[in-house]
Amino acid sequence: MSRFMFIPKRVYFEPEALKYPLGQKLHSYFSSQNIPILQTTSHNRVTGIPGSTPAEGYREAKDTLVVGVRKSKDFQTCKPSAHYQLPIATSCPGKCEYCYLQTTLGKKPYLRVYVNLDDILKQAERYIEERKPDITMFEGSATSDPIPVEPYTHSMAKTIEFFGRQEYARISFVSKFTNIDSLLDLEHNKHTHMRFSINLPDFIRKYEHSTPSLEERLQATREIVEAGYPSGLMIAPIFLETGWQEDYGSLLRTIKETVPVPDGFTFELITHRFTARAKKNILDIYPGTELPMEESTRRFKFGQFGYGKYLYPKEVTDEAKNFFEKEISDLFPKAKIKYFV
């Protein structure tokens, strides 16, 4: 199993998961590795994960894998980037201090995988059929990073080959993790858009705990480009603090030196923002965090879901937008910026 490998401390199984070949395979494998096996009645309600404080509970959850059956047939929408989420996994072993999943997955954001992938892909087929001849877009990483569990499940490989056969559908996903060797020789037919999320090396070390380095992520990006995948990079979150122009200019030049950017290569640019709830959760888990979350330096804006976010001032984000557009245009004339927010 290759490169940066997620190894759970404990694995929970729903009883029904053991009726599926993948569930049986995972149970056999983790048992052979002497990893504790526990039972849960529902992959949505898992009890017994250790941790007497929010920080301990969070860390232990990130080392916990739950194997279940996804019963809901409906997919969540994923506007504006895609029509639907494709739910093959949930959560991520990375411990990024700023992560929005800390507010959406609760105090103990354990990882989940689903053993009934065939059912999930059949539902995707129904959505595709409904929208023909229009292309239906799916996002594979809306609430997860699917790559860390891939060496165990091979679900992403099966999904990529499924979409490779679909004339009227495409899938996109983003990862910080680099164990992608099993994906490089697949028949993807350019129907999968694979991106890596990156940031400044200092910020990766400081805020993105338990994740691969910038160098590893750029090497993986090079590999997917060479494998012919539609590809891109997400720079997120962008911290517009003192010296950001020099720092992100240096990052873009490093990309140029490392990755042979092809036609259609994409950049997604997301500036740092936070909600009051997220800040409280972050301070519970990382009481010593140095994340810039001073409300007085930000502007407050209500979002589409009824709660507000603290964003950088408009004049700062306007300057950053102009900066990235010019730098990327000059350094990567074949690339395109999908969005800057």
Q: What is the pLDDT of residues 81-135, one digit of tens each?
A: 899 999 999 999 999 999 877 667 777 899 999 999 999 999 999 999 999 999 9
Q: Which tens digit of pLDDT belongs to each residue from 132-185?
A: 999 999 999 988 999 999 999 999 999 999 999 999 999 999 999 999 999 999
77: helix, strand or coil: strand
Position 333 scores a pLDDT of 96
Position 143 scores a pLDDT of 86
Grade residue 222 by pLDDT with cuts at 50, 70 and 90: very high
Distance CA 267, CA 336 (A): 6
**Is the separation of the CB atoms in 137 and 105 below 8 Å?**
no
Residue 254: DSSP 8-state: H
Q: Of 332, 142, 162, which is closest to residue 255 (Cα–Cα)? A: 332
Q: Structural domain of residue 105, as residue ranges?
A: 9-184
The C-alpha angle 326, 328, 334, rounded to 5 degrees, equals: 120
User: Judging by beta carbons within 10 Å of its beta carbon (0-12, 13-18, 19+), is residue 171 exposed, middle or buried?
Assistant: buried
Position 79 scores a pLDDT of 80
| AA letter at 233 | L
CA torsion through residues 281, 287, 290, 292, sign: positive
Residue 53: DSSP 8-state: S
Q: Is residue 172 part of a domain?
A: yes
What six digits make up the tokens of 64?
């916990």
Q: Is residue 178 part of a domain?
A: yes
Q: Is residue 164 part of a domain?
A: yes
Position 304 scores a pLDDT of 63
Measure CA 71 to chain center: 22
Please determine, for residue 199, whether its predicted confidence score (pLDDT) is greater than 90: yes
Grade residue 1 by pLDDT with cuts at 50, 70 and 90: very low
Q: Is residue 71 part of a domain?
A: yes
What six digits make up the tokens of 190?
């350019």
What six digits make up the tokens of 52?
């007497």
What six digits make up the tokens of 30?
């983790």
| Continuous H helices in the chain | 21-32, 54-61, 101-104, 117-131, 150-153, 155-164, 201-207, 214-226, 244-258, 276-285, 314-331
Rg for the chain, CA atoms, rounded: 20
Q: Is residue 245 part of a domain?
A: no
Q: Which residues of 254-278 are buried (b: 16+ CB within 10 A; e: fewer)?
A: bbeeebebeeebbbbbebbbbeeeb
Please determine, for residue 235, whether its predicted confidence score (pLDDT) is greater than 80: yes
Grade residue 73 by pLDDT with cuts at 50, 70 and 90: confident
Q: Of 331, 190, 195, 322, which is closest to residue 267 (Cα–Cα)? A: 195
Q: Is residue 236 part of a domain?
A: no
What integer best gives the mean pLDDT of the chain?
Answer: 93
Q: Of 173, 103, 97, 178, which is closest to residue 138 (Cα–Cα)? A: 173
DSSP string, 86-155: --SEEB-S-EETT-THHHHS-SS--EEEES-HHHHHHHHHHHHHHHTTSPEEEES-SSB--STTHHHH-H
Q: Is residue 109 part of a domain?
A: yes
Of 32-41, 235-244, 249-258, 297-306, minimum mean pLDDT range? 297-306
Residue 74: DSSP 8-state: P
Percentage, residues of the chain above pLDDT 90: 87
Q: Is residue 95 part of a domain?
A: yes
Q: Please count the residues of the chain.
A: 341
Please determine, for residue 3, whether its predicted confidence score (pLDDT) is greater than 50: no
Q: Which tens digit of pLDDT belongs to each residue from 29-71?
A: 999 999 999 999 888 889 899 998 999 999 999 999 999 999 9
301: helix, strand or coil: strand
User: Judging by beta carbons within 10 Å of its beta carbon (0-12, 13-18, 19+), is residue 27 exposed, middle or buried?
Assistant: middle
Q: How many domains does the chain have?
A: 1
Please determine, for residue 2, whether its predicted confidence score (pLDDT) is greater than 80: no
The CATH number given to whatever domain includes residue 178 is 3.40.50.12110
Please determine, for residue 72, whether its predicted confidence score (pLDDT) is greater than 80: yes
Mean pLDDT, residues 230-238 taken together: 97
Contacts of 268 by beta carbon, 8 Å cutoff, 6+ apart: 174, 195, 232, 233, 234, 235, 236, 337, 338, 339
Mean pLDDT, residues 301-315 taken together: 85
